[in-house]
Amino acid sequence: MELFGFPIQTVYLTTLIVSGALTVLYIFFGDIADAAIDFLNPTLILAFLTFLSASGYLLELITSLSSLVILFISIVIAIILNTLLNIFVLVPMSSAEESLVYTSDSLKGRVGMVLVPIPQDGFGEVVIKSSSGTISKPAKSFENEAIAEGQKVLVIDVKDGVLHVAHYEKTEKLFFT
- CA dihedral for 162, 166, 171, 174, sign (positive or negative): negative
Instruction: Find, among 125, 166, 126, 160, the residue nearest to 144 by Cα.
Output: 166
d(CA 139, CA 107): 12
End-to-end CA distance of the chain: 88
- Is 128:152 a contact under the CB 8 Å cutoff? no
pLDDT at 109: 87
* Secondary structure (3-state) at 133: strand
pLDDT at 177: 44
- pLDDT over 90 for what percent of the chain? 45
Burial environment of residue 37 by CB neighbours within 10 A (0 to 12, 13 to 18, 19 or more): exposed
Looking at per-residue pLDDT, the higher value among 135 and 71 belongs to: 71
Instruction: Find, among 54, 41, 50, the residue nearest to 23 by Cα.
Output: 50
Residue 164: pLDDT over 60: yes
- pLDDT over 70 for what percent of the chain? 84
Q: Which amino acid is at 61?
A: L
d(CA 169, CA 41): 51
Looking at per-residue pLDDT, the higher value among 161 and 81 belongs to: 81
**Region for 150 from its dihedrals, namely left if φ exceeds 0, alpha if ψ lies in -120 to 50, beta otherwise:** left
- Is 33:26 a contact under the CB 8 Å cutoff? yes
The pLDDT tens digits for 27-77 are: 788 766 665 555 677 888 999 999 999 999 999 999 999 999 999 999 999
**Domains by residue range for the chain, with CATH:** 2-99 (no CATH), 104-176 (2.40.50.140)
pLDDT at 71: 94
pLDDT at 167: 87
Give 114's pLDDT tier (boundaries 50, 70, 90): very high
Chain centroid to CA 38: how far? 16
Mean confidence (pLDDT) of the chain: 84
For the question of whether the overall pTM of this predicted structure is more than 0.85, the answer is no
Strands 133-141 and 162-167: parallel
- Is 11:70 a contact under the CB 8 Å cutoff? no
The pLDDT tens digits for 9-23 are: 999 999 999 998 998
